[in-house]
Amino acid sequence: MTKPIGRGRNPVARPTPRNNTRWREVFMEKLAETSNVTASAEWANVTTAQVYASRRGEPEFARKWMAALCEGYDNLELEILRRLRTGDSKDEDGNKFDFGAALRVLAAHRESAARERAIRDNEDADAIIAEIDAQLDRMRERAKAADRMAAKDADVASE
């Protein structure tokens, strides 16, 4: 089943999402793999307009989008390093791998990827600090309970 999508005078038929509740997961998986919004939207059987609207209207979706892009850039960087180290200059179709295009993509998105890493690292640090604070609170409670027990034992012994 398809639904027409109007683009100017010539509507384009696009498949409806196979599973409306799962398209976001499929999109994010492909985005992390490819760093390509258009290809990821096609893979999830949704329009790019739909994914951009979701990103604008859903803060959690936007956060996951940036994390997926960051992962994709990390994957691309590792792929470039692997190819350079092994001398693998052909893609899976036997065509020459375009190192220049890959490096331009990394350079263009270096700042956003670095910002996402910093946010992720900061979230990790916040979680660690919160866990340490909770552990200290538990230790304080145990110390207070031990003090109460010692005071109670001292009261009983003095009677």
pTM for this predicted structure: 0.54
Is a pLDDT exceeding 50 seen at residue 14? no
3-state helix, strand, coil in the chain (%, to 5): 75, 5, 20
Write down the pLDDT at residue 19. 47
| Within a domain: 91 | yes
Residue 150: band (very low, low, confident or very high) from pLDDT cuts 50, 70, 90? confident
| Within a domain: 6 | yes
| Within a domain: 148 | no
Candidates 4, 22, 6, 24; CA nearest to 14 is: 4
**Total domain count, the chain:** 1
DSSP 18: S
| Within a domain: 140 | no
Domain span including residue 33: 2-108
Pick the more confident residue, 109 or 81. 81
| Within a domain: 146 | no
Is a pLDDT exceeding 60 seen at residue 18? no
Cα-trace Rg, the chain:
26
